[in-house]
Structure 1
């Protein structure tokens, strides 16, 4: 019986078996640090093609749009490249189906957590920064992130926020990243070797940059 999302003429077991044979050939070369010859590149392409539809189907059932599904596939490919070269992943040659399922589920789980953290961060932009400073609504002027979320597709807001955080100066990005992980301001200060007041100033400066990035072009 063919699995949903896979080629209808072959069962998932048959696809996995073919992939395991190709993975075994790839690992013989890659785990010894060798370069990938053209015939092995063809093996890798065939493995990715064989599991692509299953990955798309899994992500689609979780409600991910096309861009998000492509992101999941790209993350899987990057992880596959690393694991093919790792001596510690010999089990993927024998149980490749379990490897694909476990890896994709982990990627989806981590992606969901990242999105939840981003949404929580957006919602917290108007909340006090712990005990270290005034409410952020005194720092961030309209339009607020909540208003932006109402006016724009949520996924686009998240994408713009990811990009804005990545573009922050290193120290500001570090503070914001710790806050995304729900680390308290006083603990961030200890980790970075500075006063809580200084962390608060850096955080508010970062928030101003993020606010500008999120609201850029809104009046145009």
Structure 2
């Protein structure tokens, strides 16, 4: 499922003092290498993802929808729409995408969640294409490698929590295996095989070689052999 969403990224609002560096103005975000999305209120994000599965598809996935339908209110709700845009679930006008609809469907939810993870955390998947199956410690190690942050930095936990909110649904996603190219080239429908066989038989260049073995009786009478070979000539080579 290759459903990549290219759109202008919106900065995710900071909702926690630990999301800022000393001297920065309130509401600005730290520049973190790797461009990995996160929200310190990833617990609320997880709640929103679980709730939107059961809720009706909105015209606009905005704070009003979060408040009235999903019952997620206040500052913890603000980062969610921009984050869902980043993951490919919402368009730039906050309207749900096709990926949003696939996430709502039980039959395609895990695959849609995996696509969303790859949209938002492409650098992690560039380093390990099966990142959604890694243990938690290894995912955190990748986050630290990419960002250069210390493992105790709150941002590491926020990135991991955001990743894990989607990965709760993506772990069971089935990988789409490409068809065997050799099988693709050699396998033919039965009708095609029969047609090709008939064409080959009807071809003037078609030759069939048959080997026939004869067991001759033991005898000293030459007339017996003459009779046998005369019969073969008359019946097989006429």
TM bin, normalised by shorter chain, reads: under 0.3
**Larger RCO: 1 or 2 (CA < 8 Å, sep 6+):** 2
Q: TM-score, with normalisation over the residues of structure 2?
A: 0.25
**Rg comparison, structure with higher value:** 2
Q: TM-score, with normalisation over the residues of structure 1?
A: 0.27
